[in-house]
Structure 1
Amino acid sequence: MKKRIASLLAALALCLTLLPMAAFAEDAVGAAQSSRTVITTVDELMQFAADVNAGAYDSKTDAVVSLESDLDLSGKTWTSIGCADNDANVPHFFSGKFYGNGHTISNLDFSSTYGNILYESLGFFGYIENAEISGLTVQGSVNATGSRKYSDFGSIVGASNKSTIRDCVSDISFTNSDNYLDGSIGLCGFAMDSTFEHCQSKGSISVTRTDNGVASLNVGGIVGYAGGTSEIRYCVNTADIEVCANSIGGIAGSLGSGNPSITNCYSIGKLTVLGKPSGGNTGGIVGMINGNTPIKHCYFAGEIDLTNYGVTTPPYKRLGGLVGKVASGTPVFENNYYTATENVASCGTSTFAADTAEAIDSMKTPEFYDKLTQNGGDYRFNPNGTPLLPGPKYTVTFTVSPAELTNVVITANGQTLTNGSIDLEAGVYPVTVTADNCEPFSADITITADTATHAQTLTLTYKPADYTAVDAAIAKAGALNRDDYTDFSAVDAAINAVDRSKNITQQADVDAMAKDIEDAIAALVVKPTATPAPTEAPTAAPTPAPAAPAATAEPQPTATAAPTATPAPVVTATPQPPVTIPQTGDSMNVTLLFALALCSGAALGLAAHKKNRS
């Protein structure tokens, strides 16, 4: 127990250090409920496999693993993800989602590990349960030397329970000669209650014996053995199959109880029939059926080679163009076709007719395509061969940014979306988006198996704001003569504050810019008009009183007795107006005024003196 806990902790710590994109959502007690693992290198892939087999992914049904590059495993010994122990128990397995994203794991060699453990599940994944595997191609080989124990081998997964394998490709060369093999072989070896859709088997499968003995194998291009509610739909096999085995089919080796179904599938790989009269059930689509299995809208258009068949006397009770043998139940056959071959019926069990024989060339015509599709088959016309299946469709979701947009209308591939998503095959598609206040958006998107292309974010651009009022206000300011105003700086500041990056949702801000300019213009103060100062007449200086005439010396009389002097009359001076200093702003010389006043007084005195003398 301590060792197991320590390994779990070590594995978890390694995941955290090697996988920086892992995201964990914790519940109330802090246990990690989800994780995302990104794989870009061989070392990261090997570590992921080791972690699963150490129990780090036990019960993690919400785990997501994303393969984000092609990886070459040349020289690496591969241990299946979810492998069996020596007692054929699988204590740890994967139950999450593995997205191959269209990438390829190449040069994977299973030769040294195939059939070493009894009841082993072997493949890229050994055993999965409640898992989903998609978008993955596995290319490699198995060269089985020596007799091997019972093994469920699948290039994608050895054994699948309650799981889905979608859009996966098996490109495996499986060879064995004169060694006894037991078990099942296919893209998936053994399947119970599982779904396979849009998968393809390529490469080749060859299990031969010189004694023409029958190996105890179920061999199918897609599934070796499928039981329960398993469904196989939209799958194709192009691998050549040459096998001595119990049950061999282009799509499925054997269909067990529970009524598994096959719909819209075809096989065009060459089918070389081997075996003895006592064994070997071989069919273009299914080797053997047990139950009320429905097989609908399928065709086999490969060559049937009977040159090495150990049965020489028809009818061939274990060989059919569609089904080798119906062991039990009442299968339902509808709208199926197979390569017309002499003495080969649609079903080796003569009581069942599994539909119609067609020449290979006729299955390449428009008439055959019409017949196949008008009766319910879902195919594409192929001008260069037999009808093709539609490609896998991926649910593509669209997120429009900014999130607050209103009246958003998304059209993808000419279809208007009602719930923000659409199912599209891989390809390039036109997308348009309209929304209130936004410029129309259009672009081409590329959809592939890569899950990153299944979530599209479309960023719209708002229409620009209307700057008409701002431009008018700026023009108005430009028409003014700034020299006519005391201060033009407020107008300049308002103009310089204009931000031309605003969009239509910010129109109020733009309108405020225009108002700021208008307000600044309205607040301008006109400079006062310069009025010239009035011209003042110079103040006339007072006319000075005339200077008193110089006294003329008169001859003095001979001194005689002076007569008695008559008293001079008192002369009353005429009142003079007070001297007013003009307030003209000019300075008046006070000394001059005083001198003038003295002169005036002297003149008056002299005049009085003359009068007295006279």
Structure 2
Amino acid sequence: MKIKRWIGVLLCMLLCVGMLPTMAFAANEADAWDGTADTSWYTGSASEYDINSAEALAGVSQLAADGNDFSGITLNLTTDVDLSGHDWTPIKTFRGTFNGGGHSVLNMRVALEDGENGFFGYLNKAVVKDINIEQADVEMLSSNSYFNQGILAGWANNAKVTGCSTTGSITADASGSDVPSVGGFIGSCKGNTSIVSCWSTADVTTTSTEDAVMLGGLVGQWENAANGAEIIDSYFGGTVTAAEATTSTAGILGAGLSFNGEVVLISGCVSYGQLNVPAGAEGNAVHIAALDEYGMAENCMWPDDGKAGVVRLVVDWSIGQAYPDPDFDETQCGQVIADFTDQAVIEKLNAGAQTTGLWRLGKNGYPVFSTQTDMIRADYEAVEAARGKVPADLSLFTDESVNALNSALGSVDENLSIDEQEQVNAMAKAIEDAIAALEYKGADYQAVDAAIEKANALNKDEYKDFSDVEVAIAAVVRDKNITEQTAVNEMAKAIEDAIAALEYKDADYSKVDEAIAKADALNPDDYTNFSTVEAAVNTVVRGKDITEQDKVDDMALAIENAIANLEKKPATGTPSDTDTSSPQTGDNSNIALWIAVMLAAGAALTGTVLYSRKRKYSR
């Protein structure tokens, strides 16, 4: 690191304060600044005044421009003020106490060509606490001499600054300036100035490629420290961009140079901002500070991005140049942090902090102050707990209710702050409510319906007992959900099992039995061939059910047909041994008797044949 330095000019800087233009304003009390200044509140007889409007705040600048440095006086800012729409004139020289009360000065714009530039121009033995300069736009257009430029103050000498912050941007064109100092918080500090628990996330930029600048995220330079000079428990998280290659660029302190051997102490500070330097000048970018042999840093932290944390400068005052000490061990000043989200980082910072519980992990993944509730992530435990209750298998639920749950889950904003905790709690409740409203899909009754359809297709009169099927159907309970699918499947199975267990009624064998009885009543010896009847009887199969009634009826018909087709053996006779005489020709009575017998026999035979045929064709 090579830093251009003109020692004579530095010494002159100790005595010079830039002059600020003065303006006259009319009074008007309002938080939004109307461009006027109200000085009516200042009586000169009190030691403490409340600043309750933007115009009253502008009145402080007006009074300072008129030569009032407020020595021994305390000013209390009691409201936030918005300075947008008008250029702010820095409070020229301030020696009193300014208590911001945690309030903010918004949208301050300062655009000057030289001198001390910022909300305050010059803090001389002043006390400033608890004020936030937000969304500032500070610009040094050009310079023909030297200047100190910062958002809170251009220059601080033996001042005490605690609990303050800056955001926005500060841009400097350092061309033509001998020793420019630019900081996102304070441009240049001197003596025993103390900066405690302060921070900046400002964008700090120099535009001149010709002149070196002492450029810092918090403080541009520290000159001639005195006992008590310190930057304690503070951080930078913005961007520092240098246009000139030899510019000393750092996150906390651009350059710490002392001509009197006193030490500026940097302790418990964190820098995780982005440092941008010209190509080839990467060695000039340092996260914490570039310090001469009298500077001291301890317990600091910086990111593991390849840039140095602390550089010890070896200064050759005869030529006004400084070079880094190659033997300096920066680990004695703190440590490189690979992961700032590690809770151990916050614990270590708090262990060494002057203020108990000062540090919290910000929602940006880096340390912030516990007072920065808008920067600290809200408590998402309730959201995580709600997410943990989401069923693993959402396919069990209706599309509509699942869509509502997914909408609640998708609406979670993961980056809300403590100030927005109620919104986070509402997100958790929305998820819980959507889970409670999940509606199971209905169970699948297709198998039940198929079983019932099968049962309805049956003729229950064909079965011995159909009641089990009817009972199983009556036991079906509709409107079961998908989690009760097993029970629904059991209903279907019960019907199927009852159907499977049905027994058909027995076939009617009465005709078979009648035919067999008829066959049994016959004398087989009376017929020429009785085997057909016997065969028909033997083919009878018992145990048939009603579905085979036709077969049983066919068995009866076969027997009947066999009987009907029987042929009797012809009748045969032998003459009586006692009657061997032949009828006499003249015996008319015997002849008549034989004729009658013959006619009767013929009639009987004819009737038998006709009856058999009638029985055969009538079945």
**Taking structure 1 as the reference length, what is the TM-score of the superposition?**
0.46
Greater fraction of residues in strand:
1
**Taking structure 2 as the reference length, what is the TM-score of the superposition?**
0.46
Greater fraction of residues in helix:
2
